[in-house]
Amino acid sequence: MLEVKNLCKHYGGIRAVDGASFKVEKGSITALIGPNGAGKTTAFNCISRTVVPTSGEVWLDGERIDNLRPHKITAKGLSRTFQISRNLADMTVLENVIVQARCRGFADLFRPAVSAEERDKAMSILDFLGITRIAYEDGHNLSYGQKKLMDLAALLMADPKIILLDEPAGGVNPTLLEEIVGHIRALNAKGLTVLIVEHNMDLIMRLSHRVVVMAHGRVICDGTPDVVRRDPHVLEAYLGGVLEEEAA
């Protein structure tokens, strides 16, 4: 469904992403992992074009999208979250979910503030995520975990084919983490393709069908969780310390 070809993003002499190539198969949960500074989030930004890549190509369902504006990419079926929630603090959760999902550009300025259809759809998604109780809470009243769930709800409003989740478990307590894992699995079971950046290796290894490992802006390994766990380049670049801690 998603193919990244020789993607590069340079900031002067710094090569944040340096010729990265990988694929995300339709219907899969694929993880993008690596140490801090590996280029994972920058790759996400280039795929969604919140950052313009220096070079390379991004293809979605056989169509090149790296030359499109972000709202056009969303309209094509690719939506993403960010590490830090971008909620509008003075709006309710319901309003945040609706307004963040609009992706028709200036045309949205001439639509009603909140239509009955949008309200019903948003409430249905909040119900699926188990957070209808906070639908009318202002964004600034939410806990960190609730903001993560709100961001996920906003993603689903756009009816995406593939979602990119940037550290959905970051800063979340263990109970809510299991809820988020359950939601991701349920969405994937319904046919939604998932690409996820995450540092929680336990989550990645039990959730993902495939794992892509980046280091220094490049892809150094691409395979099943079991293959990645045993790859010597991965152990050297990233997982070694994590696995030693687990063993201890």
User: Tell me, what's the pLDDT at 186?
Assistant: 96
Residue 35 to residue 19: CA distance in whole angstroms = 17
Domains in the chain (CATH in brackets) are 2-86+158-247 (3.40.50.300)
The neighbour count for residue 234, using CB atoms within 10 Å, is 22
Chain segment 67-125, per-residue pLDDT in tens: 999 989 999 999 999 888 777 778 899 998 988 766 555 555 555 567 788 899 999 99
Sheet holding 55-60, edge to edge: 14-24, 2-11, 55-60, 63-64
Whole-prediction pTM = 0.87
Chain segment 109-143, per-residue pLDDT in tens: 555 567 788 899 999 999 999 999 999 998 888 88
Residue 72 to residue 45: CA distance in whole angstroms = 15
User: Tell me, what's the pLDDT at 23?
Assistant: 97
Tell me the pLDDT band of 239, cut-offs 50, 70 and 90: low
Mean of all residue pLDDT scores within the chain: 88
81, with CB counted inside 10 A (0-12, 13-18, 19+), is buried
Residue 66 to residue 49: CA distance in whole angstroms = 7
Residue 165 to residue 188: CA distance in whole angstroms = 13
